[in-house]
């Protein structure tokens, strides 16, 4: 059978592309190499307890806000969304001092101005810039030329320079960047990435009861209901080029599946590796894509708790450093100076947390020596390494969660190796390709590739995170349907 579109990978971007194209009457097939759908949306169960792998919370999901508009289109708003505390959706703990992030732009600004009264005017400038990016996110669909769009001030300036020029208090700069464990802070991070992500969470912040896998399953079910195909255990081992374009995908080394167009949700390096022989993909292009740096990965401790730890309807970002912007270069093997604590929504309105996740940055070089080993068979040295890292995390977090060490029932840990194995994330990168405001053309990729019927989607293109990936899925679909059709689907005109 020949399909209109074959989509490689069932991460959020792949499934959203499958949904949009199916809704427009195309015959779509989504191929997932693993046992479960969803990529980083996956959940896993241990001893009866479910844990999320990469999904923790989303922003801008209140009615009318940007992610709500997209998820309403994808029919995802009936899932059990759970709003985080408006009075403190994120708590920043900086060297023991606590700061609250309050929902709503005006309320956010007011709260921090009360803690930093001399920065009141500067905070107004800061919020004005974030709001300008957040309010105009859909205007990117009006831009015919992506090069022109990427010349906007928020792209050609760095978040680091913006903060230093706008906020004159060093501690406040650290606080404002304090929730940025959901991106990699570095001196060349484009202001747009920083502003878009932070503004979306300030607008509103939400968890989902029962895990992020529900998002993937809901999208997959919708695709099937619209006549599409979604398969697991279907690894694309080769993309075959014929007469200057792709003709078929080889699945599990033997099955040949034809399509007019192919979309890859995999990392661009992994995608190009699938094209074994090509007259179109030149060595210089492959080398350029392979040479783009990736963001760091994450060490995650999924902890099942005994009863006794109160559930917090917020996230905690804990730092023991005087400069949050330096954490990307921390010695992640021997020190843990930064951690995100995420609570899973308990069932039955229990006042106690059932399980929490502790996440801290981890560099690929710290686990690269075990690359090529198999899950659960990496050896004693690797297990010892993980145990040491776990103890560092618990030691840091237990200073701020009273009784944590005594309430740990079971712990399951993962490293960038785990992400690479289970989700095919290149180098276990948490946020894909590292975006650089000085090299936008090279690090902000478009969906197009030199092969005319091979498109890309997912977090490695322009923006990561749930909102960024969802936006990117429409850019990918626009290459097939046209941007006017996308705007009609989203009722943008």
Contacts of 264 (CB under 8 A, 6+ apart): 7, 8, 9, 270, 271, 274, 454, 455, 456, 457
Q: What is the pLDDT of residue 374?
A: 87
pLDDT of 460 higher than 80? yes
Q: What is the pLDDT of residue 149?
A: 58
Q: What is the pLDDT of residue 163?
A: 96
- Three-state SS for the chain is CEEEEEEECCCHHHHHHHHHHHHCCCCEEEECCCCCCCHHHCEEEECCEEEECCCCCEECCCCCCHHHHHHHHCCCCCCCEEECCCCCCEEEEECCEEEEECCCHHHHHHHHHHHCHHHHHHHHHHHHHHHHHHHCHHHHHHCCCHHHHCCCHHHHCEHHHHHHHHCCCHHHHHHHCCCHHHCCCCCCCEHHHHHHHHHHHHHCEEEECCCCHHHHHHHHHHHHHCCCEEECCCCEEEEEEECCEEEEEEECCCEEEEEEEEEECCCHHHHHHHCCCCCCCCHHHHHHHHCCCECCEEEEEEEEECCCCECCCCEEEEECCCCHHHHHHCCCCCCCCEEEEEECCCHHHCCECCEEEEEEEECHHHCHHHCCCECCECCHHHHHHHHHHHHHHHHHHCCCCCCHHHHEEEEEEECHHHHHHHHCCHHHCCCCECCCHHHHHHHCCCCECCCCCEEECCCCCCCCHHHHHHHHHHHHHHHHHCHHHHHHHCCCC
Residue 181: which of 304, 38, 88, 54 has the closest Cα? 54
Q: What is the pLDDT of residue 148?
A: 59
Question: 370 and 417 in contact (C-beta within 8 Å)?
Answer: yes
Residue with tokens 């740096």: 293
Question: 435 and 185 in contact (C-beta within 8 Å)?
Answer: no
Q: What is the pLDDT of residue 333?
A: 63
143 confidence band (pLDDT: 50, 70, 90): low
Q: How far apart are CA 228 and CA 485, in angstroms?
A: 20
The residue-averaged pLDDT of 73-89 equals 97
Instruction: Please give the backbone phi and psi of residue 330, each rounded to the nearest 5 degrees, phi first.
Output: -60, 155
pTM of this structure = 0.95
The residue-averaged pLDDT of 199-207 equals 97
Among the residue ranges 143-147, 261-265, 371-375, 399-403, the one predicted with the least confidence is 143-147
CA distances from 87 to 16, 33, 127, 209, 342 (A): 32, 42, 18, 20, 17
Percent of the chain with pLDDT over 90: 77
Cα pseudo-dihedral 454, 275, 365, 444, rounded to 10 = -20
Interval 399-455: pLDDT, tens:
999 999 999 999 999 999 988 887 777 888 999 999 999 988 888 889 999 999 999
Interval 249-264: pLDDT, tens:
999 999 999 999 999 9
Characterize the bridge pairing of strands 90-94 and 43-46.
Answer: unpaired
């Amino acid at each position: 059978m020949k399909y209109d579109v074959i989509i490689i990978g069932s991460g959020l971007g792949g499934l959203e592309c499958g949904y949009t194209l199916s809704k427009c009457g195309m015959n779509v097939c989504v191929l997932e190499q693993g046992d479960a759908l969803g990529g980083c949306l996956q959940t896993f169960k241990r001893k009866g307890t479910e844990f999320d792998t990469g999904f923790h919370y989303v922003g801008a999901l209140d009615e009318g806000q940007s992610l709500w508009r997209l998820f309403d289109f994808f029919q995802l708003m009936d899932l059990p969304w759970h709003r985080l505390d408006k009075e403190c959706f994120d708590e920043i703990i900086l060297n023991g001092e606590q700061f609250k992030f309050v929902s709503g732009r005006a309320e956010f600004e007011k709260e921090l101005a009360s803690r930093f009264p001399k920065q009141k005017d500067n905070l107004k400038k800061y919020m004005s810039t974030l709001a300008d990016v957040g309010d105009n996110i859909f205007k990117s669909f009006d831009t015919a030329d992506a090069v022109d769009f990427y010349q906007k001030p928020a792209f050609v300036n760095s978040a680091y320079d913006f903060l230093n020029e706008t906020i004159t208090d060093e501690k406040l700069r650290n606080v404002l960047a304090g929730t940025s464990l959901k991106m990699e802070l570095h001196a060349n991070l484009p202001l747009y990435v920083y502003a878009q992500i932070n503004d979306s969470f300030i607008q509103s912040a939400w968890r989902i009861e029962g895990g992020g896998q529900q998002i993937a399953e809901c999208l997959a079910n919708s695709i099937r209901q619209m006549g599409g195909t979604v398969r697991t255990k279907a690894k694309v081992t080769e993309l075959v080029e014929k007469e200057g374009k792709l003709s078929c995908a080889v699945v599990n080394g033997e099955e040949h599946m034809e399509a007019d167009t192919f979309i890859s949700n995999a990392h661009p390096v992994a995608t190009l590796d699938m094209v074994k022989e090509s007259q179109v993909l030149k060595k210089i292009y492959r080398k350029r894509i392979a040479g783009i740096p990736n963001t760091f990965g994450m060490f995650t401790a999924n902890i099942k708790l005994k009863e006794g730890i109160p559930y917090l309807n917020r996230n905690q970002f804990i730092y023991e450093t005087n400069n949050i912007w330096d954490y990307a270069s921390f010695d992640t093997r021997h020190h843990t100076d930064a951690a995100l604590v995420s609570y899973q929504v308990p069932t039955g309105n229990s006042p106690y947390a059932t399980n929490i996740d502790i996440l801290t940055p981890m560099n690929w070089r710290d686990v690269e020596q075990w690359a090529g080993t198999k899950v659960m068979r990496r050896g004693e040295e690797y297990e010892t390494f993980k145990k040491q890292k776990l103890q560092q995390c618990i030691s840091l977090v237990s200073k701020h969660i009273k009784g944590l060490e005594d309430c740990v029932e079971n712990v399951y840990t993962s490293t960038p190796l785990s992400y690479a194995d289970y989700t095919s994330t290149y180098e276990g990168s948490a946020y894909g390709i590292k975006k650089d405001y000085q090299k936008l053309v090279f690090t902000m990729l478009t969906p197009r590739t030199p092969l005319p019927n091979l498109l890309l989607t997912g977090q490695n293109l322009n923006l990561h995170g749930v909102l960024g990936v969802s936006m990117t899925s429409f850019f990918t679909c626009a290459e097939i349907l046209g941007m006017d059709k996308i705007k009609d689907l989203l009722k943008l005109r």
